[in-house]
Amino acid sequence: MNHILKRLSPVRIIALGFAFAILLGSVLLMMPFSVRDGVELHYIDALYTSTSAICVTGLIAVDAGDTFTPVGQFILAALIQIGGLGVTTIGAGLILALGRRMDIKGRTVIKEAVNLDSGKGIVTLVKNIFITTVIFEVTGALLSFTVFVQDYPVWQALGISFFHSIAAFNNSGFDILGNFQNLIPYRDNVMLNLITCGLIFFGGIGFLVIREIWTKKFRWKKYSMHAKVVLSFSIALILIGGVLIKLTEDVTWMGAFFHSVSARTAGFSTYPLGTFSNSGLLVLTVLMFVGASPGSTGGGIKTSTLFVLFQGIKSAATNKAEKGFHYSVPKDAFKKAAVITLLALGVVTVGTYLFTVMEPEVGLMDALFEITSAFGTVGLSTGITPDLGVGAKLLSILTMYIGRLGPLTVASLWYFSRGERVRFPDGNIAIG
């Protein structure tokens, strides 16, 4: 096994790691100790749930609270945690916990998994990721407990609180409240809304940005270009999304901003999205497509990709250099951002087409919303997920998997060439 892993590229190791975790999770969720008495769980639904958890999505074919026992819910929370941190990061953490050294191959895999430019400081970063995760999730659980303990017995409230905190920080919209209700009963609870939004926000900006905020103590001028882009675009998208949702939907301002935050790959909802207008669903679809930020627990094309696209378009239109926050945009950044966006659009477009073929009774907006939610690893749904056929569920599983790995990563899995030796002359082609 060791010999085989050494021959695989880092991206293939990551892809196989996620696939193995999904399959293992589906088997564990099918075990008698995971499923409540009297509940029949089909394997396709266990596979769907495991994929949704590992890909930190939150789309559900069966209700987690009504279907799984406390042991099954614990397994589900563990799958969400593994998916949020990343299979490779978890593996690296175990290696360090056992007192073993990480080899060059392992460092390279971690570098690819968390989108680092170099392998320098990998061990320290892995330790910081685990410490940061524990701090946020324990704090979130304790604060959530003050809300849930008002409605549930102490031990049950504690379990719900930790599950909710893990799901929120890892940008996965699972809940164990039962009856497919998500957070609708708490739509007017300011405390829980703020706690959830805070966990989603910090989980979505990425561990590197969290570390910068901590070490540089909110001194904006000292932040890197990446941190400034992530923070400014994240806040701008939340504000713009919240205002647009409020303009189109009969929700409170708190509900509008909650869904604007949640649509950035978290998947919690405090209002039934099946009642939203097409305008509101379109706003949420765009937010889901953009998603979170690099090195975070979220999906989508990422905020930094959107920033680079804007700068590239602006540069082409004005004939000025690509820059932002008194930094120049890296030379090949626009090319990579354009490729990622086009691949993502391709996945969503083809996925929506196939979805409408498999589920002809589902409206186009609902199909687009469902597939974008799967690709962005969000978990929001208009309520059609439980009634989908096997084909549509398998399509959604594949879309979630592609969304978690990233379309460019998936495309590179099939690249075997070591480079071209032939150079052709430049041709002429009309653009625009």
Residue range 113-127: mean pLDDT, rounded = 68
Residue range 90-101: mean pLDDT, rounded = 63
* Residues 15-46 pLDDT 10s: 888 899 999 999 999 999 999 999 999 999 99
Q: In this model, does residue 411 exceed pLDDT 80?
A: no
Look at residue 427 and tell me if it is in a domain.
no
CA-closest candidate to residue 205, choices 265, 255, 282, 162: 265
pLDDT given at position 128: 85
Q: Residue 249's Cα: distance from chain center in Å? A: 25
Look at residue 421 and tell me if it is in a domain.
no
Residue range 53-57: mean pLDDT, rounded = 91
pLDDT given at position 10: 72
Q: In the chain, pLDDT over 70 holds for what percent of residues? A: 88
Look at residue 336 and tell me if it is in a domain.
yes
Distance CA 7, CA 419 (A): 18
Q: In this model, does residue 324 exceed pLDDT 90?
A: no
- Which of 103-117, 156-170, 311-325, 359-373 is predicted with the least confidence, judged by mean pLDDT? 103-117
Distance CA 195, CA 142 (A): 10
In this prediction, residue 258 has a pLDDT band, given cuts at 50, 70 and 90, of: very high
* Residues 222-241 pLDDT 10s: 899 999 999 999 999 999 99
pLDDT given at position 301: 92
Q: H-type helices in 359-421, by residue range?
A: 364-375, 390-405, 407-412
Look at residue 97 and tell me if it is in a domain.
yes
What b-and-e string marks burial along 99-108, b requiring 16 or more CB atoms within 10 Å of the CB?
eeebeeebbb
Residue pointed to by tokens 């930790």: 162
Q: In this model, does residue 79 exceed pLDDT 70?
A: yes
What is the tally of structural domains in the chain? Answer: 1
pLDDT given at position 219: 84
Range of the domain at 41: 2-412
Residue range 122-141: mean pLDDT, rounded = 88
Residue pointed to by tokens 């004005």: 318
Residue range 128-143: mean pLDDT, rounded = 93
- Measure Cα distances from 399 to 19, 150, 424 in Å: 13, 38, 36
Maximum distance among all Cα pairs of the chain, rounded to whole angstroms: 73
295: phi then psi, degrees, rounded to nearest 5: 75, 15
Residue range 178-201: mean pLDDT, rounded = 94
**What DSSP element (H or E) covers 135?**
helix 122-148
Look at residue 431 and tell me if it is in a domain.
no
Close Cβ partners of 226 (under 8 Å, ≥ 6 residues apart): 208, 209, 294, 304
Look at residue 424 and tell me if it is in a domain.
no
Look at residue 301 and tell me if it is in a domain.
yes
342 residue type, one letter: L
352 residue type, one letter: T
pLDDT given at position 105: 57
More confident residue, 150 or 321: 150
244 residue type, one letter: L
pLDDT given at position 11: 76
pLDDT given at position 157: 96
Q: In this model, does residue 367 exceed pLDDT 70?
A: yes
CA-closest candidate to residue 181, choices 316, 87, 273, 57: 273
Q: Indicate the pairing of strand 323-324 with strand 327-328.
A: antiparallel
* 381's tokens: 């749904």
Residue range 327-336: mean pLDDT, rounded = 88
Look at residue 422 and tell me if it is in a domain.
no
* 392's tokens: 């549509």
CA-closest candidate to residue 273, choices 294, 242, 249: 249
CA-closest candidate to residue 213, choices 200, 204, 222: 222
Q: In this model, does residue 406 exceed pLDDT 90?
A: no
